[in-house]
Structure 1
Amino acid sequence: MNTLIGILGVLSVLVSTGDSLSCIKCLGSSKETCIGSSVTCPSDNLCANGYSLTNAAGTLTPVFNRDCGPRNQCNLTGSVTFNIGVVRVATTCCSTDNCDPGIPTLPSNNIQQNGLTCRTCYSGNSLSCYTSETIQCKGVENKCLLMEKQLSGTFFSKEALRGCATDTYCSLLGTQTASYDGLNIDMKVFCTSGTNSVHGGFFLSTTAFLVLLKYLFFLN
């Protein structure tokens, strides 16, 4: 059974000055560090760290990465809760060549129900996930989410899940297409605004570029 997820990695940044930062780019299955080479970032990017921790059916999967990242994706936290687990993510940034902004602090686990009910399911072998099962959302997870993810290249996987998500995850840490060390990542996130009802339809959230991890949903 695939362990599922990991989402995150991060990105790129600096203010629009015409200058470009050099930042370390790497990906690893640790919460503290990874080793990689220095790359030149776009002129509007910063050096970013991204950390995600997935707890799926009791199995913990940490993912840590360093890269360039857009300023609007700096110092953010978000989470997704679904029928068999939860994914928590966070980012940090700094603005000097090859700087290390430190280990991002993950958001706390949600405890208090907020009145929103979402459909929930997980599929480890397709891009569709339909169910009548529901989940009671908690804390600041005020959106119903459908996520579809396909990996190709050095690893092939199709996955889908439905559950509760934070607005930050839906609008900034979600939809993306990227390539990393021969791994092609195509992830789409669809969310509905939080209301006190069960959501069945979804609309495409704001697209944001994320450099994701090497093994996003999986680890056998």
Structure 2
Amino acid sequence: MKSILISLSIISAVTWTADAINCLKCVKANSDTCVGESVNCPNMTQCMVVYELYQFGNTYHSIKRDCNPGFPCGGLYSGTLNDATVRVNIQCCTNDNCNTDDYKMPPGNIERKGKICPVCSGAGFTECISNDTERCIHPSDLCGDYIGKFIDPGNNIRVVNFKSCVSPLTCKYKFNPFISLKEIENKRFNCTPPN
């Protein structure tokens, strides 16, 4: 009986190891590439590369390689407001250490095919109010309403409020997939269907 239990334990350990995957892990803000070390990921995980584009006066690219904690692969997180743009793209793969690609962001869709959202921005924790609107880029975009504080890729602390078009993935995952844009305080982040 003891030998049967030992055999089952060995088979179980071998099966778990066979399902595990190794992925490169690194993160580099304000860069198009990073050098990663290979790490063992949890059972049935994918490797991912996260690409971030942040434009607010300056343009920053950032990259992260890691095990995927459950973010949708191929998903594009985006938000645009006047002269500010944030885009995050996540690409996944399923072979050991396959997440080797350097920075690449799909081209922005300049043809706006979505519905209309209110648009305004301001500094501080007071809600911005405006009669201005914009047509969203994608038909699936939602109207975002945010008040909070974050650190941008240039290490500037920004207290902002805005209303603009945002992707559904941005509404669901908020700042979690972001690399160099770190939220410090969230007063409000609501998403509603556009008109």
TM-score by length of 2: 0.68
2:61 maps to which residue? 62
CA distance in 1, matches of 2:94, 2:43: 11
Summarize the alignment of residues 28-177 of structure 1 with structure 2, pairs less than 5 Å apart.
Answer: 28=28, 29-31=30-32, 33-57=33-57, 59-100=58-99, 102=101, 103-112=103-112, 114-123=114-123, 128=125, 130-133=127-130, 134-140=132-138, 142-145=141-144, 146=146, 148-150=148-150, 157=157, 159-162=159-162, 163-172=164-173, 174-176=174-176
Structure number with bigger Rg? 2
CA displacement at 1:34 relative to structure 2:
0.5
After superposition, give the CA deviation of every residue in 1:19-56 in whole Å (9 maximum; x if it has no partner). Answer: 3222222122223x201322222224211001111221
CA displacement at 1:119 relative to structure 2:
3.6
Q: Which moved more, 1:66-75 or 1:90-99?
A: 66-75
Equivalent position amino acid for 1:167 in 2: P
Summarize the alignment of residues 171-190 of structure 1 with structure 2, pairs less than 5 Å apart.
Answer: 171-172=172-173, 174-176=174-176, 190=189
Is the 8 Å Cα contact of residues 25 and 64 (structure 2) preserved in structure 1? yes
CA distance in 1, matches of 2:156, 2:40: 29
Is the 8 Å Cα contact of residues 175 and 183 (structure 2) preserved in structure 1? no
Identity of aligned residues (%): 24
Q: Give the length in aligned residue pairs.
A: 167
1:14 maps to which residue? none
SS in 2 for 1:168: helix
Equivalent position amino acid for 1:25 in 2: K
SS in 1 for 2:68: strand
CA distance in 1, matches of 2:20, 2:83: 42
Q: CA 1:36 to 1:122, structure 2 compared with 1: closer, same or farther past 3 Å?
A: farther
SS in 1 for 2:170: helix
TM-score by length of 1: 0.61
CA displacement at 1:160 relative to structure 2:
3.4
CA displacement at 1:60 relative to structure 2:
0.9
Higher helix share: 2
Equivalent position amino acid for 1:193 in 2: T
SS in 2 for 1:176: coil
Q: Which has the higher contact order (CA 8 A, sep 6+)?
A: 1
CA displacement at 1:67 relative to structure 2:
0.9
CA displacement at 1:169 relative to structure 2:
2.2
Q: CA 1:135 to 1:40, structure 2 compared with 1: closer, same or farther past 3 Å?
A: farther
